[in-house]
Structure 1
Amino acid sequence: MDAESTPPPAKYRKVSKPEHSISISTVEMHTGGEPLRIVTSGFPNIEGETILQKRRYVKEHLDHLRKLLIFEPRGHFDMYGVILVKSDIPEADIAVLFMHNEGYSTMCGHAVIALGRFAIDNGYVKAKEPETNVNIQCPCGLVRAQVKCENGKSGSVGFVSVPAFAFATDVEVEVEGHGKVKVDISYGGAFYAFVSAEEFGLDVCNSGIEKLKNTATAVSDAVKKTVKLEHPDSDDLAFLYGTILTDGKDDYSSDPTANVCVFADKQVDRSPTGSGVTARVALQHHKGQIGLNQTRLFQNGMTGSKFTGKAVSQTKCGKFDAVTVEVSGHAFYTGTSTFTLEDDDPLKTGFLAK
């Protein structure tokens, strides 16, 4: 008799399973090393006519579930998640809200790359070879993904996001511990500050993660104190998401250029950052460092994972000269999960070890 069929000893009596007040199922993926937890069932109804209203509703009424899924013991400090919601625009195949350790983003490129595969593999969109279009409504607007399909299997994903633009260049801010530093600010579905790590004596590929994280956070704090952001579409989009430290190699080259993105509450992206690459390409185009349809490799300084990025057309976003940017990468499945909660769990609301 094998171990699986061996009955338990008679002295052990069977006890009833605990009751769970919450049960949420997810699909787990990663893009360039950056995790993505996609909620597939168990989330309460999210109210709101528009996706930005839904984002506000989740923030005001369901934030305990973000903490349950993102925080320890079910998640970790750098976990990232997606909630599928009902779209309010007819051309969207799926609509999503993004969540992280601090709250809710307006755009996430690594998530879009994963969601492209997820939408096809789970029947939201019918696969067509050699490429399938997947339209994803994000809080920043409609993002169009193109998924490579071959022999019934989804593959690499490219996406064209909302118009991206340089908001301000050479902005002088007072960075604690470093004095006055000039930074650039650009939008790629979310606003980022950009500065070369060399300004602080750091190397994005070799300096320790804590040094990079603390320096980028200090830059973000300085920009938030100094710069008032604005977006033509909505005030809900007018906030600094994070700082991207670069290797300073912004002129067009066939060689990869590396960066590390620190966003939200000192969260460190393991991928090159899809919305960050979008914003960086827009910034490079604004400065004349990259032309239209010049593909560039962007590399995460810690993991070495790569995305490609290129500006494909010029456009406008309100008063700003903008470009549409195509970013490409590959996502992979890592598993599925069902997360539960017992009401008498003293740590049921989650925690973060900082």
Structure 2
Amino acid sequence: MSHELTLQLLDTHAGGDVSRIVIGGIDPLPGTTVREQMEYLENDADGLRKLLLNEPYGIPEMSVDLIVPACDPQAQMGYIIMEVMGYPVYSGSNTICTATALLETGLIPKREGIQHFTLESPAGLVQIEARVENGVVEAITCGGLPSYIDTHRAQIHVPGVGDVTYSIAYSGGFYALVDAAELGFSLKREEERALAECAHRIVEAIQAHSGFSHYTLGDVGPLPFLHFMGPVEQIADDFYRSRSTTYVHPGVICRSTTGTGTSARLALMHYEGTIKPGDKLETVSLRETGFIGEVVAVREAGGKHQVVENTITGKSYVLARSEIVVNCDDPMVDCGGVHHILSDRHPVAVNRSDAATA
């Protein structure tokens, strides 16, 4: 009989995007930072991402977040994000889900009212504010990555689409921002397949034409994201709302508007002078779910960029608590890139007694 290996999971969603949180079953990863541990997974153990995002265990539209002990003493926990496009250094929806999972599992003790704690992502430290009412995590506000506009209203000819006007923002990954109405979309759910096909063609064309470099990180790979922007409605003096849709290359339309997509939109609105520090934007998805982004401050960086400091607020829901069996004898299961990090023990990812309180 084959030796049974298992993974302990907490499935969650924020805005409709499912984040599968791995809380046990993985051995400690090498690396002195969470970023280095992410790079180890990417280069030497990508099988975990493939295992949980592909049949028979998952689907590419999901995300996976691996809880790891924090390396930075200022953080209570660390986490690594895995998606169909690879290993994003940051994600708002995944951060909201991970923070909720840590509270719901007791890995970070949950307290009534407002509590603060710090997580270590591959992008660095992330400040979390959790609002707990009657024992329920009602909202998570997380710091979005500093966002800026790299390219404003460039044009490209896209086969099968035509001439497309786009802007490029960085908000944890590079985003192409396009006007949905200019491309014939009203951002309704029945347009989902057509949105994915259109976005795929635009991203392929931009990737073939241009590469983008972050002012400190340098080359972070080919363009992975596109954000369709709907019209902006002003709800109050400092509050705006807009339908929005985020695409992840290749082929995935996100259920939520995504945190990084919302941060990218804030950067563009500030660049165009339509939003200022203290203002908020609610992005609304094809499924009528929303995240709220707030411009906290603006600063100069990299010699030429107006960088927008921002936060993202949303709510995550727990879908399931489970333990999956990894059967390497199953012909549908490829253990080649994961067997060396699967633990033959059954601990949670970190010792609860070691979890610092906020």
SS of alignment partner, residue 208 of structure 1: helix
Q: CA deviation at 1:126?
A: 3.5
1:127-142 matches, cutoff 5 A: 127-142=110-125
Amino-acid identity (%): 24
- 1: CA distance, partners of 2:35 / 2:219: 8
Please state if 1:284 is matched with 2:236.
no
Q: Which runs of 5+ in 2 are unaligned?
A: 336-358
SS of alignment partner, residue 281 of structure 1: helix
Conserved? CA contact 1:174–1:180, under 8 Å:
yes
The residue that corresponds to 1:229 in the other structure is: 212
Aligned-pair Cα RMSD in Å? 2.1
2:292 to 303, 308, 311: 308
Distance 1:255 1:102, change over 3 A: closer
- 2: CA distance, partners of 1:172 / 1:250: 26
- 1: CA distance, partners of 2:229 / 2:152: 15
The residue that corresponds to 2:100 in the other structure is: 117
Structure-2-length-normalised TM-score: 0.86
SS of alignment partner, residue 90 of structure 1: coil
- 1: CA distance, partners of 2:128 / 2:8: 25
Bigger Rg, structure 1 or 2? 1
Distance 1:129 1:23, change over 3 A: closer
Query: How many residues of Structure 1 are paired with residues of Structure 2 in the alignment?
Result: 332
Q: CA deviation at 1:297?
A: 1.5
Aligned partner of 1:284: which letter?
M
Conserved? CA contact 1:163–1:317, under 8 Å:
no
Aligned partner of 1:328: which letter?
T
Aligned partner of 1:297: which letter?
E
- 2: CA distance, partners of 1:166 / 1:137: 25
Q: Which has the higher contact order (CA 8 A, sep 6+)?
A: 2
Please state if 1:272 is matched with 2:257.
yes
The residue that corresponds to 2:341 in the other structure is: none
Please state if 1:34 is matched with 2:30.
no
The structure that is strand-richer by fraction is: 2
Aligned partner of 2:137: which letter?
S
1:166-177 matches, cutoff 5 A: 166-177=149-160
SS of alignment partner, residue 161 of structure 1: strand
Distance 1:238 1:290, change over 3 A: farther
Conserved? CA contact 2:19–2:63, under 8 Å:
yes
1:102-113 matches, cutoff 5 A: 102-113=85-96
The residue that corresponds to 2:347 in the other structure is: none
Q: CA deviation at 1:43?
A: 1.6
- 2: CA distance, partners of 1:53 / 1:275: 22
Q: CA deviation at 1:38?
A: 0.4
Q: Which runs of 5+ in 1 are unaligned?
A: 1-17
SS of alignment partner, residue 48 of structure 2: helix
- Describe the superposition over 1:36-70 as per-residue Cα deviations: whole angstroms up to 9, x where unpaired: 10001112332222333222210121111211111
1:46 to 22, 29, 37: 29
Q: CA deviation at 1:312?
A: 0.9
